[in-house]
């Protein structure tokens, strides 16, 4: 196996609506929290991968977004690589940071993601989201990822493998987890009836099943094993990091991008899906959890609904999924989402997740996708993390 890359520190700015906060304000909180968590200062960072998707369209800041926000926390003079990869930008920044350390280019690397989606004219945000696709195909059609998820779920409702009640109940679970998460945008519980009766967004998806416009930031400090002083907390290492891009699906069917990426991650780590103890998946619409449970190998194809109904994905289940609340409850500030998943899993592996802590996890999986190309995500990353110290 390649030399160990350790998750040295994580930090977040709570997700939500922050009309009076700038991108620099969001980054300052998340970045400094990650550095403090790692026990280092700004001058110890040797390289940065900075993820943002919309600041060019929404705030007018193009080209050097990372450099402009990182100056505020004293990170200057080192390479800053700006990453834009739709909703998968944060996990892509993480993947690049892992490669930088494994290649020997740096020993301590910061991956940071940030987004400010609340602006005076909400239509500008919706237009920005629409651009996460091939505009030669979708421009002017009003199709966004909400409709894509809706179409996928309608096929599953039609074949009977999932039910509308499943769509509602998985949303109930996500909101229940988010209510336990102080970083979540929506910290309220809901009932299945409330979910089903909320406004229809893209049939069968209703408002309470969907992620919403959100501001926030998240950061992860990665370090080569042995470079930083040993911490009293359980060490967390990167077990695998796999990335992929979209492709035109075979009309006859076949594995998805998430499926293929997960297979590569499992192969890197020398494990299988049955070894995963907790997962964060890209549920921009909460019911997407049912589909990703199949794609990631947690259950057989077509069994996502049954797997969920068994209770396996609950906080006290055999494989808790989205203990953070997921994108629909924790929030989905596009450039920060993938790193928020990894922060959550680090807290879970350390035993620091408070009221949403799952039972003694050793291996965690993060799956983050972004954009879409004719029915397939344009970008996808799957990362596996491992707790190094046995639970006592």
Question: Which residues are the active-site residues?
Answer: 87, 332
Bridge partners, residue 113, by sequence: 51, 218
Distance of CA 211 to the CA centre of its chain: 12
The answer to whether the beta carbons of residues 351 and 357 sit under 8 Å apart is yes
Which residues 6+ apart lie within 8 Å of 154 measured at CB? 203, 204
Q: Which residue spans within the chain are E strands per DSSP? A: 5-16, 47-51, 80-83, 108-116, 200-202, 205-206, 215-224, 236-245, 278-280, 363-370, 379-387
Structure tokens at 186: 């929506």
Which residue, among 329, 324, 361, has the nearest Cα to 344 in the 3D structure?
A: 324
| Most distant CA atoms of the chain, gap in Å | 57
d(CA 243, CA 265): 9
Q: Assess contact for 278 and 364: CB atoms under 8 A.
A: yes
Which tokens belong to 234? 């359980």
Give the residue among 145, 173, 186, 185 at the shortest CA–CA distance from 321.
173
What DSSP element (H or E) covers 263? helix 257-269
Q: How far apart are CA 185 and CA 147, in angstroms?
A: 22
Q: Give dist(CA 387, CA 372) in Å, integer.
A: 33
Strand partners, 205: 202
Residue 240: CA atoms inside 13 Å, Cβ hemisphere, count?
A: 25
Helices (H), strands (E): how many in the chain? Answer: 14, 11
Q: Strand 205-206 to strand 200-202: parallel, antiparallel, or no bridges (unpaired)? A: antiparallel
Asked if 136 and 360 count as a contact pair (C-beta separation under 8 A), the reply is no
């Amino acid at each position: 196996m390649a030399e160990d890359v350790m998750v040295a520190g994580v930090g977040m700015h709570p997700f939500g609506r922050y009309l009076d906060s700038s991108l620099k304000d969001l980054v300052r909180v998340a970045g400094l929290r990650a550095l403090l968590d790692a026990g280092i200062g700004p001058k110890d960072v040797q390289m940065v991968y900075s993820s943002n998707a919309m600041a060019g369209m929404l705030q007018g800041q193009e080209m050097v977004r990372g450099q402009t926000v990182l100056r505020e926390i004293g990170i200057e003079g080192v390479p800053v690589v700006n990453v834009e990869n739709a909703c998968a930008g944060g996990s892509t920044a993480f993947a690049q940071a892992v490669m930088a350390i494994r290649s020997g280019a740096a020993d301590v690397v910061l991956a940071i993601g940030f987004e400010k989606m609340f602006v005076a004219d909400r239509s500008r945000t919706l237009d920005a989201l629409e651009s996460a696709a091939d505009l030669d195909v979708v421009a002017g059609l009003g199709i966004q990822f909400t409709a894509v998820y809706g179409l996928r779920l309608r096929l599953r409702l039609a074949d009977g493998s999932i039910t509308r009640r499943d769509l509602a109940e998985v949303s109930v679970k996500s909101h229940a987890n988010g209510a336990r998460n102080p970083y979540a945008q929506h910290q309220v519980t809901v009932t299945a009836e409330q979910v089903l009766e909320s406004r229809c967004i893209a049939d069968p998806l209703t408002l309470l099943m969907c992620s919403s416009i959100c501001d926030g930031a998240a950061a992860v400090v990665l370090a080569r094993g042995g470079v930083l002083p040993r911490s009293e907390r359980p060490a967390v290492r990167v077990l695998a990091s796999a990335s992929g891009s979209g492709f035109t699906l075979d009309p006859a069917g076949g594995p998805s991008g998430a499926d293929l990426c997960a297979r590569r991650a499992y192969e890197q780590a020398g494990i299988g899906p049955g070894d995963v103890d907790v997962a964060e998946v890209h549920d921009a619409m909460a019911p997407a959890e049912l589909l990703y449970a199949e794609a990631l190998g947690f259950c057989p194809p077509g069994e996502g609904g049954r797997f969920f109904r068994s209770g396996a994905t609950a906080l006290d289940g055999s494989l808790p999924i989205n203990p953070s609340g997921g994108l629909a409850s924790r929030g989905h500030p596009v450039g920060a989402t993938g790193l928020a998943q990894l922060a959550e899993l680090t807290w879970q592996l350390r035993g620091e997740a408070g009221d949403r802590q799952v039972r003694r996890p050793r291996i965690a999986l993060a799956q983050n996708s972004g954009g879409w190309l004719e029915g397939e995500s344009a970008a996808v990353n799957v990362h596996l993390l491992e707790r190094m110290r046995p639970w006592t």
